[in-house]
Each structure stands twice: as structure tokens, then as C-alpha cells.
Chains A and B, each alone.
Chain A
Amino acid sequence: MDTDDASSAEMRRRPTDRDADPLALDDETVERLLSGELPPAQAPPEYAAVAALLAAMAAAPSQEELAGQAAALAELRAVSSARAVAIRRAAKPRRRRRVGLAAVAVAGALATGGVAAAATGNLPEPVRKATRSILVTVGGAEPATSDPLPGSSARHPGGGQPPPPTGATVGAPGTTGAAGAASPNLKGLCHAYLAGKGAEKGKKLDATAFQVLARAAAGEDKIQAYCQRLQLPNPEPDDTKPKGPMPKDQEPGASDDPGQGQGGPPPSTGAGDQSQGQGNPQAMRSPSR
């Protein structure tokens, strides 16, 4: 009997019996092999070569594999800037207006959400940048210690005045009602959220605003109900105030540079404190299909 015959005879027996089948594998060993936790010397002898093979598959990147980085990034940069131009050109005024609304809401939430620290430079640069660009979009204050955006002061309606504290611009902190009541900023976010229609909901808001709402509502799927509850009249004396946090003359976009608020970067999620759960099932799908 040669070895091939022997092994095929053994394979016909119960696969979990190691005495009968030297290639039998339990699930735990499979997992450890796949995750690289089982170096060849510690793997079952029959799987030592497999462990070495899997380790080679997962080895550190080679120079060759990384050789195209500069070219690849250059190509992607070209593509994304071309796309940004296309988006700006295609943008309709109405769309810009709604983005502006969301930006106001975000600015309000940022201002009282502890993110006012952005003005002091304590936050990661992406968040600072985002906050800055939102505030500029709103036409309000610019964080005092931030680098001003080129030309931003010219865009301010009230150019000569010293910028008020960021919190006072839109958020009006301190007007919140009794404990447990939603802050005006959440109402503002909800207003922006509910302004969307159907499938567009949620996409209206950028990641930061959406996360703020999701946290307040205790779940992304609860935002709708949460916001509808908030919009209902209630006995809070301040109830009507937050509904109009944005006087008409502060509304951005109407006479602004067409790109403003549209092509700019969305606020980063860089604070890193929001729950990073399952990922959005929508986003799990390929964007191109």
C-alpha cells in the first residue's frame, strides 16, 4: 500500500479523529492559523508548511508593492479635484442653501459641544479647519487664534468688527431650558435633518453633525423619532427661540462664491470619540454600483 492509498483511506474516516486523520483540523486551530497566531514550529506538524505559507502571504509589504504610491496618489488627486470642480459647477442654489443650513447647525453644535476649544488650537487640525471653514461660511466669527483663511475677512458682512466669542455667534448657550431638555443646537441639527426628504436624510448632515445627533438620539435609527419629538411644541419657555437660530441675513450661499460650503472639506471625525460601531450598511456597498 503506497502513501497515497493510505491517506485517501484515512480521509474516509471521521475527520475529527486525529488518530485516523492526521489532517483533521478543529475550528480553533483554523482560526489561529488564519490569524497568524500559530507559527510553523507550534502548528500541528502536518500544518507547519501551511502556517509558513500563510505567514508569507501576510508578510510585510515589499518595495515593489509600494512602488507606485506617488503616482497613484497623484492620479487620485487629479481625479478628485476634477470631480470637485464638476460638483461645484453642477450645484444648484437650492442645494447650497441647505448645505448652509446644515453648516449653521453644525457650527452651533460645535460651539457648545465642547468643541469651542477649536479656537484655542487644542483640536486636531482637521477639526480646526472644518470649524473654521464653517464659521467663515456662516459669516460669523473666526476663531481668534486660527490662521485666517485667505480672503475670508473680505467676505464678512461685518468685516471691521472684532469677532464675538464663537459661542455667541449662533449657539446661544445658556438659553437651554430645564435639565434634560435638548439644547438649541440639537434642535438646530434636527431642523437641518428634518429638512431633508426621504432617502436624503442623514446625507444632509456631515459626519460630525450626524454623530452628534445619533449620540443624542441614542442610535442612528432613532434620530427621526428623536427629532420629531423635539420639534413638538412643549412648555419650555425657550422653545421658540432655537427654531430661528439663523436670521435671513446670516444665511450663506445666496450671494456667496458658488463653491463656498459646497466644495469645502466636511468636518473631520478626528476627535475620535464617537462610537465607531458597525459602519453604515449603506456605506458598505460599493459607491460605484
Chain B
Amino acid sequence: MIGPEFPAVLGAAASGDEEAFGRLWHDLQPRLLRYFTVAAPAAAEDLASETWLAVVGGIDRFRGNEPAFRAWVFTIARHEVLDWHRRAARRPSEDPPATGQVERAAPDDPAADALEGLSTQAALAVVATLPPDQAEAIVLRVVAGLGVDQVASLMGKRPGTVRVLTHRGLRKLAQRLGPDRIWGVV
């Protein structure tokens, strides 16, 4: 979050101030990478670059506050993901798109990783084992920091549907990471 300075930072970035643009990048690039890690893991870096190119192309036409800006950037990011999957589907020699369908190599591995370091990457790997729309809804809520309504319009679903998706996803995560397996007595 950039906070109260956001309007000034956005205005400066839109008029070509590289330092201001750097602040936007610094705030959003890690979030974008994490989103792509779950949604299109093989192409996270490339899709982040593509997203920023689109942001540069449109930032001077953007109007809105910080949450709206974030939603806009992630709307672009999601289009990049959809395009990437479309392209991947047309390339028969490559592996089919595997969004969120990464099977756990061994049943306990991601959970064990989560137990050890709870690294961001391990956490994302666990979330990526959820059905894709559940994983995406959770990542957009938690990593992108978007509200239910923003996620709903971004995913083209109703807010109630997004609530159900996140609810189910959290529930599945709890089943996989049950308290007796990781945390013992809390």
C-alpha cells in the first residue's frame, strides 16, 4: 500500500516520473509475481513484464484511487494469464496449462514446507493445489488485497460466488493442513 501519497505518486508516474513509477512497481510487482506463481507458474516473470508494459501504456488515462488502481492492474494481469493459457493450449507439444492443478509430489510435502519456514513460495505452492478458481479468488483477496466486489468483477462472477469460492478454498486448506498435523495444541 502506498497510502495517502498515492494520488501524488500516480500523477507523477503518469507524467513520466520514474521514481514515482518505481514506487508503484515496488508495491505491486511482488504481488503480481505471487499471483502469477499460482495462476501461470511457468510464465510468472514474463507475464509480469507484459502487465507493466500495459500499465505504462494506460496509466495516463487511469483515474481512481489506490484500490481502483490495484484492481485495474490485476485486471490487466488476469488478461495476461488468460492469453497465456490460450497460447499454451494452442501449443500441443507443451504441457497443457496446469493452473492450480499442480499435484503434490508427496502428500505431505507442501505442508511440511509450510511447517518449516512458511515461506511465501511454499504457501503459494499449497494454495496452487486448490481448484483454480478457488486458488485465484484467495490469491486475489490475500495477495492483491482486493475486496470481494473487486475480485468478483475481475473474475466475471457474482460476489456471492466469490465468497463461496474463498470459503471452500479455506476449508480445503484447513483439511490439508489440519491442526494435529502442523500446529499441535495451539
Binding site for B on A (CB under 8 A): 7, 23, 25, 27, 30, 33-34, 36, 40-41, 45-50, 52-59, 61-62, 65-66, 68-69, 72-73, 75-77, 79-80, 83, 124-127, 129-130, 203, 207, 210, 265-272, 274, 276-280, 282-289
| Complex: chain B residue closest to A36, CB-CB | B142
- Given A57-B123, A73-B18, A270-B12, A47 contacting B58 (CB threshold 8 A): no
Once the chains bind, are B174 and A46 in contact (CB under 8 Å)? yes
Which of A40, A268, A277, A278 meets B12, CB within 8 Å?
Answer: A268
Q: Across the interface, do A283 and B114 meet the contact criterion of CB distance under 8 Å?
A: no
Chain A residue nearest to B73 in the complex (CB): A286
**Option from A65, A129, A283 in Cβ contact (under 8 Å) with B62:** A283
In the complex, residue of chain B having the shortest beta-carbon distance to the beta carbon of A214: B63
Please give the distance in Å from B17's CB to the nearest CB on chain A. Answer: 7
Q: Chain A nearest CB: distance from B70 CB in Å?
A: 10
Given contacts A23-B174, A268-B15, contact A30 B163 (CB under 8 A): yes
Q: Smallest CB–CB gap between A184 and chain B, Å?
A: 26
Q: Are A34 and B166 in contact (CB under 8 A)?
A: yes
Separation in Å of the A265 CB from the closest CB of chain B?
3
Q: Tell me, in angstroms, the Cα distance from A58 to B18 when the chains sit together.
A: 26
**8 more A-B residue pairs beyond the given contacts A266-B14, A266-B15, with a C-beta to C-beta distance below 8 A:** A33-B170, A50-B173, A52-B114, A56-B122, A61-B30, A207-B63, A270-B12, A287-B76
- Say if the beta carbon of B96 comes within 8 Å of chain A: no
Enumerate B150-186 residues with CB–CB distance to A below 8 Å: 153, 163, 166-167, 170-171, 173-175, 177-179, 181-183, 186
Q: Are B57 and A283 in contact (CB under 8 A)?
A: no
Task: Say yes or no: B75 contacts A286, CB within 8 Å.
Answer: yes
Is the CB–CB distance between B8 and A276 below 8 Å? no
Q: Select one of B75, B143, B173 contacting A58, CB under 8 A.
A: B143
B186 x A69 contact (CB < 8 A): no
Q: Let me know if B21 and A76 touch, CB within 8 A.
A: yes
B40 contacts partner chain A, Cβ-Cβ < 8 Å: no
Main secondary structure of the interface of B (DSSP, over half): helix
Q: Tell me the dominant secondary structure on chain A's binding face.
A: helix
- Does B118 have its Cβ within 8 Å of any Cβ on chain A? yes
Measured between beta carbons, the chain B residues less than 8 angstroms from A207 are 11, 14, 63
* B118–A80 touching, CB < 8 Å: no
B84 at the interface (CB under 8 A from A): no
Contacts of A83 in B (CB 8 A): 56-57
Mark contacts of B44-64 with chain A using CB atoms, 8 A cut-off: 1 yes-contact digit, 0 otherwise.
010001001110111011111
B71 interfacial contact with A, CB 8 Å: yes
* B124 and A57 contacting across the interface, CB-CB below 8 Å: yes
Question: Does B93 sit at the interface, judged by CB under 8 A?
Answer: no
B141 CB contacts on chain A under 8 angstroms: 34
Cβ-defined contact, A283 with B174, below 8 A: no
Q: B79 in the interface, Cβ–Cβ < 8 Å?
A: yes
Contact of A62 among B16, B30, B145 (CB under 8 A): B30
7 A-B pairs with least C-beta separation: A279-B64, A287-B58, A279-B68, A265-B15, A268-B11, A49-B177, A276-B65
User: Are A130 and B30 touching (Cβ within 8 A)?
Assistant: no
Given A279-B63, A288-B54; A73-B72 close (CB under 8 Å):
no
Select which of A57, A76, A269, A277 is within 8 A of B56 by beta carbon: A76
Taking CB atoms, residues of chain A closer than 8 Å to B18 are 73, 77
B61-A283 in contact (CB<8A): yes
Cross-interface CB contact of B29 among A72, A129, A266, A289, cutoff 8 Å: A72
Does B87 sit at the interface, judged by CB under 8 A?
Answer: no
